[in-house]
Structures are given as C-alpha cells and as structure tokens.
Amino acid sequence: MKKLSLILLSLPVWILLYFNLESITDFLIYNLLGMEKGTHLTETVWFFVFEVPKVLLLLVLIVFGIGIIRTYFSPERTRKLLGGKREFWGNILSANLGIVTPFCSCSAIPLFLGFVEAGIPLGVTFSFLIAAPMVNEVAIVLLFGLFGWETAALYLGTGLLIAIISGWVIGKLKLERYLEDWVKNIEKKDNIEYNEIKYSFEQRLDLGIDAVREIVGKVWLYVVIGIAVGAGVHGYVPQNFLAEMMGKSAWWSVPAAVLLGIPMYSNAAGIVPIVQALIGKGAALGTALAFMMSVIALSLPEMIILKKVLKLPLILTFIGVVGSGIILVGFIFNLIY
C-alpha cells in the first residue's frame, strides 16, 4: 500500500500547485526575472510559464483518473452490455461506453469484429467507433484548461450527440452489404464466453500510473510546443488579425476547417493551444472546434485500418455523415457565440 499513500500524499501538493499557479508565475516573471509588465515579450513568456504546468498538471490528474475508470470497462464487457440492444437506445449506450472503454485505433479491427460476432447492429457499433476517439480525455483536459469548463462540456455533449446520431443514421442506411465479404460471413454467436480479467485495487492504481506514463509521455512534447506557438501568437499577432479569414462572417471557414482536419492526425494536444490563441485573435470558436473534432475523429490512418473490414462506400458514408455532423456543430457554435 506504499503506492496508495504516495498517491494520497501527492494530491495536496497537486492542489496547492494548481491553485497558486498564477501567483507563482507572477513571482517568477516579475520578481525573480524582473521582467517589465505589459510588453509583448513578457506577455508571451508569462503565458508559456503559466499554461504549460497548468495543462500538464490537469493531464496527469485526469489521465490517471480515467485510466483507473477504464480498468472497470473491458471491451468484452461493453460488448456484453450492447448485445441484444436495439437501435437508438443502443446508439446512446454505445456512444457513452465509447468514452469509458479502453480503445486504441490499433485495436479497432478486433473490436469491430468482436461486435459483429455478437450481432451488435452496424449503426450501434459505429456510435462506439465515433465516440471512442472523438471524446478523449486529452482533448477534454486541454479544452478545460485553456477555454474553461463550458467549452469542455459543450465539446463532450456535441461529440456524444454526433456519435449517437451519426451511428443511428448509418444504421438506418442499411449498409451491411458494404462490409467485406469475409466479415459478412462471420458466424454470429449468442453467448460469447470470455474470461473477465480481475484486477486488484493495487493493480488498478498501477494501470492508472501506466496510463499517465503512456499518454502524458506521448503528448507532453506536443503540449509544450503547442503552447509555445500559442504563446507567440498570443503576444505578437495583432488583435482581430484572423477575424476576416476565420471569423464568423466567413461561413465557408467551417467546412474548410473540417476538410483540412481529415488528413491531419496529430493528437489534439498540440492543436488546442494554437487554436486557443487564434480565437483570441478573432477566429470563431465554432470553426476552431470543428477543426479539432475533424482532426481527432476523422483520421486517415484509422480509415486505412478500417478498410480491412469495410468497403469504400461505407467508409465514405462514415466520413460524410460524421463530417456533416461536425460542420453542423461548427455552425451552431458560431451562431450562439
């Protein structure tokens, strides 16, 4: 239980650091470095020194928490929960499970086939496959840290909605004929046996720490670079510089942002800080959100992986339906704000 006490001890340290970051940054910049208030350089440096530890602290905490939650949801268990569910309710359940079930795009194929085997409707499976990458903890943390909880909540809500509705639409379109032939021939089984792997509480903690090591280890550099670029934009790019190109009045900017996002698959980590800085310079929130969703949810490498089980028309429908959903969300956000 040494690990548990160590984790419990680090929590107050975390809280102390997180809630005093502003004064710590002020002290570092103005007192220790003696930088002058109000210059471009000071603003840029301040932004960087404040945002990097803030986002990293949030990332560690949330990734650890989600990592532990995910030990309670195996894909096998999710499959069992979804088995026999009709469309609509199935779509809602499936999208929500997509958030908490561990998922990596390299496992997309065995997962997809496992769902097919259990006779889960295609549309319900898609709700899962859309929600799992789109509503990810790194994106939520960055949005929360850099934009505030309202934006994070809106992202979560609309992301889920897109997953539910897109899956439902794909189900209604009856596209089963566009599964690869060998997938169509997979025998459906009613009660699939599996051995649920049991974890002790200590193992769950370990897996949470593993998740932090794996995810934060992978994204921290993107976060730092993204915030550095964002800090530069923040300090040096003139106000309203982007209002014309990426502002609300330019309606075409939303679909353009979505198209631009498809071939990009760098994780959200590097993009959010830059987007946040751009918004400060007049870009519209809806356009920026649409871009982010497109980068995360519609990634070319995942399409290539899915090509092994889906025929092209189905992949194109998938891109079309999800893309339209994202564009709609972009427009709605631009309208509200």
Partner 1 sequence: MIVKVLGTGCKKCQNLETKVKEVIAKNDVKAEVEKVQEIADIMKYNVMMTPALVINEKVVSTGVIPKDDEILTWLKEGK
Shortest distance in whole angstroms from residue 195 CB to partner 1: 6
Does residue 224 contact residue 258 with C-beta atoms inside 8 Å? no
Beta carbon nearer to partner 1, 29 or 120: 120
Q: How far apart are CA 274 and CA 287, in angstroms?
A: 13
Opening angle at CA 103, ends 2 and 101, nearest 5: 70
**Percentages of the chain per state (helix, strand, coil), in multiples of 5:** 75, 0, 25
Beta carbon nearer to partner 1, 5 or 200: 200
Shortest distance in whole angstroms from residue 111 CB to partner 1: 5
Beta carbon nearer to partner 1, 23 or 195: 195
Binding site for partner 1 (CB under 8 A): 74-76, 79, 102, 104, 106-107, 109-111, 113-114, 117, 182, 186, 192-195, 197, 206-207, 210, 308
Beta carbon nearer to partner 1, 181 or 193: 193
Q: How far apart are CA 325 and CA 306, in angstroms?
A: 20
Does residue 174 contact residue 314 with C-beta atoms inside 8 Å? no
Shortest distance in whole angstroms from residue 206 CB to partner 1: 8
Shortest distance in whole angstroms from residue 132 CB to partner 1: 12
Beta carbon nearer to partner 1, 150 or 210: 210
Does residue 202 contact residue 244 with C-beta atoms inside 8 Å? no
3-class secondary structure for 5-68? HHHHHHHHHHHHHHHCHHHHHHHHHHHHCCCCCCCHHHHHHHHHHHHHHHHHHHHHHHHHHHHH
Shortest distance in whole angstroms from residue 217 CB to partner 1: 13
